[in-house]
Structure 1
Amino acid sequence: MYTIPSPAHRFRRLRRTPALRNLVQEHTLGVGDLIWPVFIRDGDNVQEPIASMPGVDRLSIDNVVRAAEEAAALGIPAICLFPYTDPSVKTLTCEEAWNPDNLTNRAIRAIKAAVPDIAVMTDIALDPYNALGHDGFVVDGVILNDETVEALVKMALAQAESGADILGPSDMMDGRIGAIRVALEAAGHKDVAIMSYAAKYASAFYGPFRDAVGASGALVGDKKTYQMNPGNSDEALRLVERDLREGADMVMVKPGMPYLDICRRVKDAFGAPTFAYQVSGEYAMIKAAAQNGWIDGEKAMMESLLAFKRAGCDGILTYFAPAVARALRG
């Protein structure tokens, strides 16, 4: 029998035991990498399940405060608020978006009063308040850019005044980061951070989120004139470069797993704090497959999030945040 000489490099040597595998693991996932997106709605003691996102609920402000307390206890550094807006306050002019006493702003104040050390992130876009479901003003079927930016500035200032730590412009209007940054500085909010949704794609993975915020039935048309074409990657780098130049402190790629290549390119090109949003469709697929017994849900959850770290992300927005934090704590 012909014997092959023992190789100098047996890669399996360092896979032999858990201790050896841990010693040479290149990337790790920690609780400090997580931002927990939560959905809020009006009412008292409301915990309303979202059918397309098993395990995720819409929460009234009192319950979202409890969620923030839970997050802080688990070591999750940030919570991100998304409002389910009553259809009665949705208009074509979207003025509820910058109402100091709207649902989001009241939730910010309540969380910061109860859990001052947790970072509160918000969403800046007009779609929760727009009768037509778009992120900007619509006139004759056209989404207006500059007029929308003016409204987003007012929205950002109202959230900053309420105590938000991180503003997340998700609208994809041109020039909004610079306009918001200038307005924040002028109003004395120089320490409020901006995490720009810099590379946000026109994706099929947002469906359950739109159910969660009540935008599915309202949306007229699509968002392809302002969200990115899934076939483009060089454009993502140009957008990130612009948003960093205009004053973004952090940048986001959205969705997450279908765009890991974009995460890697952004981090390699700029070295800036880079985040990904594991969006509702990604979450729902893992949960549905797990509920059907097709995959191990916890292992798939952890593997999916580790992939973001391997791709260069500094952190991840994920609905799995509390479950991941508990799993990491053992």
Structure 2
Amino acid sequence: MSFPIVRNRRLRGTAALRNLVRETQLTVHDFIYPLFVTEGTGVREQIGSMPGVFHLSMDQLEAEIREVQALGIQAILLFGVPDHKDDLGSEAYGNHSIVQRATRAIKEWAPELLVVADTCLCQYTSHGHCGVIKHDERSNRTEVDNDLSLELLVQTAVSQAEAGADIIAPSNMMDGYVQAIRAGLDEAGFSHVPIMAYSVKYASAFYGPFRDAAHSAPQFGDRKTYQMDPANGREALREAESDVREGADLLMVKPALAYMDIIRQLKDQFDLPVVAYNVSAEYSMVKAAAERGWINEQAIVLETLTGLKRAGADIIITYHAKDAARWLAQ
């Protein structure tokens, strides 16, 4: 016996009915909003390649935090843009460095707002790499010193936790970074502070505007020796599995849009929250097209973020967070 094809048109009727049967719910509670804090006073400078995103000095930061809170956003990701850079990235782990000072201030203004601290050296090193650089005279090769970098990254994570950071987010991709940071945090009395591991971070062309924002472009070479080949999928599972064994609490995929298949694989494979980083170029391309009137920005952004959630992201780091929060509240 054959049956006619019957489509569920009855479930696509009114808006209220569509809301009842919607499979994926996007809310403001899904978002983490990145912020760039810099030295100086009176600084609120729009980043040229990221319309609507600003460098903020400490005296401008409180107003931004109040706005974020008013929109219902519950977490921020804090990046520091220091004046001083050196070979060892010493401003990353100083107790009075920009991220540590900003974290303390935010915790006074908004104690309930979650502060996620970026834990990397690239913004703080004179060469722009995510770790300490060494030169081998015999082979005439310049490469990252993984073990020394880990020592400094542990110092950075501990100093951020001491300042009040709620989550440590190591973006450096050094071998063994989760295990080292977990051990360092535990030893310092911060066993309760979770690690948001940049488990699957590809050597991507989508980071360009961020490097403009963070002043962190490598001065030589690239980061392909410690970031993943965009062609590799199974490697992503191995990297994530390694981070799980080392003590990660959240697993990130970065970038997001070109790697939605990876987001889904991590969601299916691991019993930890999955974070999607909707990165700078993904943001800037939408902004550029919207400014030219080529797209409906609100519709594109909400469809994109819903797609990331549907793919398996529990949390979305996005520069669209403030706009999306307003649109979702309408």
What TM-score range do you get, normalising by the shorter chain?
over 0.9
Q: Distance in 2 between matches of 1:67 and 1:233?
A: 38
Equivalent residue, structure 1, for 2:306: 306
Which residue, out of 22, 38, 54, partners 1:57?
54
Equivalent residue, structure 1, for 2:209: 208
Equivalent residue, structure 2, for 1:107: 102
SS in 2 for 1:70: helix
Equivalent residue, structure 2, for 1:153: 154
Equivalent residue, structure 2, for 1:81: 78
Equivalent residue, structure 1, for 2:138: none
SS in 1 for 2:123: helix
Q: Distance in 1 between matches of 2:106 and 2:89?
A: 25
Q: Distance in 2 between matches of 1:112 and 1:27?
A: 33
- Superposed CA offset, 1:253-308 (max 9, x none): 00011100000000000131000000000000000011111110111011110011
Equivalent residue, structure 1, for 2:139: none
1:284 aligns with 2:284: yes
Q: Distance in 1 between matches of 2:129 and 2:170?
A: 14
Query: Please, which runs of 5 or more residues in structure 1 have no aligned partner?
Result: none
Q: Distance in 1 between matches of 2:279 and 2:121?
A: 19
How many residues are paired up? Answer: 323
Equivalent residue, structure 2, for 1:120: 115
1:48 aligns with 2:53: no
Q: Distance in 2 between matches of 1:95 and 1:309?
A: 37
For the 8 Å contact 1:34–1:316, the answer to whether it is kept is yes
Q: Distance in 1 between matches of 2:283 and 2:199?
A: 21
Q: CA RMSD in A?
A: 1.3
SS in 2 for 1:53: coil
Identity rate, percent: 50
The alpha carbon displacement at 1:8 in A equals 5.4
Matches for 1:1-330 after TM superposition, within 5 Å: 7=4, 9-86=6-83, 89-140=84-135, 141-216=142-217, 218-330=218-330
Moved more, 195-204 or 67-76: 67-76
Q: Distance in 2 between matches of 1:94 and 1:65?
A: 26
For the 8 Å contact 1:85–1:214, the answer to whether it is kept is no
Q: Which amino acid aligns with 1:254?
A: K
The alpha carbon displacement at 1:18 in A equals 1.2
Given the two structures, how large is their TM-score scaled by the length of structure 1?
Answer: 0.95
For the 8 Å contact 2:82–2:91, the answer to whether it is kept is no
Q: Distance in 1 between matches of 2:3 and 2:234?
A: 45
Given the two structures, how large is their TM-score scaled by the length of structure 2?
Answer: 0.95
Q: Distance in 2 between matches of 1:27 and 1:234?
A: 27
For the 8 Å contact 1:85–1:213, the answer to whether it is kept is no
Moved more, 140-149 or 11-20: 11-20
**Segments of 4+ moved more than 3 angstroms:** 5-8
The alpha carbon displacement at 1:44 in A equals 1.9
For the 8 Å contact 1:267–1:274, the answer to whether it is kept is yes
SS in 2 for 1:277: strand
Q: Distance in 1 between matches of 2:212 and 2:69?
A: 27
The alpha carbon displacement at 1:6 in A equals 9.3
For the 8 Å contact 2:31–2:74, the answer to whether it is kept is yes
For the 8 Å contact 2:24–2:306, the answer to whether it is kept is yes
SS in 1 for 2:195: strand
For the 8 Å contact 2:276–2:315, the answer to whether it is kept is yes
Q: Distance in 2 between matches of 1:240 and 1:274?
A: 10
Q: Distance in 2 between matches of 1:256 and 1:117?
A: 28
